[in-house]
Chain A
Amino acid sequence: MKVVVDEEKCVAAGQCVAAAMDVFDQREEDGIVVLLDENPPAALAEDVRNAAAVCPALAIRIEE
Chain B
Amino acid sequence: MAESDTRQATEERLYFYQDDRDTTCPFAPPPGLRALNDHAPVTRARIWDGSTPWLVTGHAAQRAILSDPRVSSNDKLAGFPYPNKAMAETAHHHPLTIFNADGADHTRIRRMMTRPFTRPRMEALRPQIQQFTDELIDTMLAGPKPVDLMHALSLPLPSLMICALLGVPYEDHDFFQEHASFATRSDKTTEEQQAANQALGGYLAGLLQKKMGEPTEDVLSDFATRIKDGDLTLPEATLLSMILLIAGHETSANMITLGTALLLDNPGQLARLREIDDTRDVANAVDEILRYLTVATFGQRRIAAEDFTFEGADIKAGDGIIVPLPAGNWDPEAFPEPEKLDLTRKANHHHAFGWGIHQCLGQQLARIELQVVFGTLYRRVPTLRLAVERDALAFRPADALAFGIGELPVTW
A residues adjacent to B (C-beta < 8 A): 11-15, 17-19, 21, 25-26, 28-32, 50, 53-54, 56-58
Give bound CA distance, A18 to B110, whole Å: 20
Choose one: A11, A25, A56; the contact of B120 (CB below 8 Å). A25
Residues of A within 8 Å of B348, CB to CB, are 15, 18-19, 50, 54
CB of B361 within 8 A of CB of A30, answer no
Q: A18 to chain B: which residues have CB within 8 Å?
A: 119, 283, 348, 364, 367
Given A26-B119, A56-B355, A57-B357, A14–B111 Cβ distance below 8 Å? no
A56 touches B357 (CB 8 A): yes
21 A-B contact pairs sorted by A residue (CB < 8 Å): A11-B357, A11-B361, A12-B117, A13-B353, A13-B360, A13-B361, A13-B363, A14-B364, A15-B363, A17-B118, A17-B120, A18-B283, A26-B119, A28-B115, A30-B111, A30-B114, A31-B114, A32-B114, A54-B348, A56-B356, A57-B359
| Cβ of B122 under 8 Å from chain A | yes
Interface string of B333-374 (1 = CB under 8 A from A): 000000000000000110001111101110110010000000
Contacts of B119 in A (CB 8 A): 14-15, 17-18, 21, 26
Instruction: Point out the residues of chain A lying under 8 angstroms from B283, CB to CB.
Output: 18
Q: Give the CA-CA distance A13 to B363 in the complex, in Å.
A: 7
Contacts of B353 in A (CB 8 A): 13, 56
Contacts of A19 in B (CB 8 A): 348
Q: Shortest distance in angstroms between B278's beta carbon and chain A's nearest beta carbon?
A: 14
Chain B nearest CB from A53 CB (Å) reads: 6
B128 interface residue (CB < 8 Å to A): no
Evaluate whether A31 and B357 lie within 8 angstroms (CB atoms) in the complex, with A12-B110, A14-B363, A53-B349 already known: no
Question: How far, in angstroms, from A19 to B353 measured CA to CA in the complex?
Answer: 16
Which B residues contact A (CB, under 8 angstroms)? 67, 107, 110-112, 114-115, 117-120, 122, 283, 348-349, 353-357, 359-361, 363-364, 367
**B118/A31 in contact, CB under 8 A:** yes
Report Cα–Cα, A14/B364, bound state, in Å.
Answer: 7
CB contacts (< 8 Å) of A29 on chain B: these are: 115
Name the A residues within 8 Å of B114 (CB-CB). Answer: 11-12, 30-32
Task: Please classify the interface of chain A as helix (H, G, I), strand (E, B), loop, or mixed, using the class held by over half of its residues.
Answer: loop
CA A56 to CA B360, docked complex, whole Å: 10
Q: Is the pair B359, A13 in contact by a Cβ cutoff of 8 Å? A: yes
* A50 CB to nearest B CB, Å: 7
Task: Give, as a whole number of angstroms, the nearest-CB distance from B409 to chain A.
Answer: 34
Structural contact, A26 and B361, CB atoms closer than 8 A: no
Query: Known contacts A14-B364, A19-B348: does B357 contact A26 (CB below 8 Å)?
Result: no
Question: Once bound together, how far apart are the Cα atoms of A32 and B114, in whole Å?
Answer: 8
The CA-CA distance from A11 to B107 in the complex, in Å, is 7
Q: Is the CB of A58 within 8 A of B67?
A: yes
Contacts of B67 in A (CB 8 A): 57-58
Collect the chain B residues with CB atoms within 8 Å of residue A54's CB: 348-349
Q: Is the CB of A31 within 8 A of B115?
A: yes
* Residue of B107, B115, B349 ringed by the most chain A CB atoms within 10 A: B115
A14: which B residues are within 8 A, CB to CB?
A: 117-119, 122, 363-364
User: CA A14 – CA B363 in complex, angstroms?
Assistant: 8
How far does the Cβ of A49 sit from chain B's closest Cβ, in whole Å? Answer: 12
Q: Which of A12, A32, A50 has the most CB of B within 10 A?
A: A12
Chain A residues with Cβ under 8 A from B359's Cβ? 11, 13, 56-57
CA distance A59 to B82 in the complex (A): 30
Do A12 and B357 touch (CB < 8 A)?
no
Give 13 new A-B contacts, CB below 8 A, not counting A14-B118, A26-B120, A29-B115: A11-B107, A11-B110, A11-B359, A12-B111, A12-B118, A13-B363, A13-B364, A17-B118, A18-B283, A18-B348, A21-B120, A32-B111, A50-B348
Given contacts A14-B364, A18-B367, contact A26 B356 (CB under 8 A): no
Chain A nearest CB from B294 CB (Å) reads 15
Give complex CA distance A4, B111 in Å.
21
Which of A11, A14, A15 gathers most chain B CB within 10 Å?
A14
Inside 8 A of B111's CB, which chain A residues have their CB? 12, 30-32
Q: Which residue of B lies closest to A47 (CB)?
A: B280
List residues of chain B with CB within 8 A of the CB of A11: 107, 110, 114, 357, 359, 361
Q: Which residue of chain A has its CB nearest to the CB of B66?
A: A56
A32 to B107, CA, bound (A): 11
Residues of B within 8 A of A12 (CB): 110-111, 114, 117-118, 361
- Knowing A18-B283, A50-B348 touch, does A57 contact B356 (C-beta < 8 A)? yes
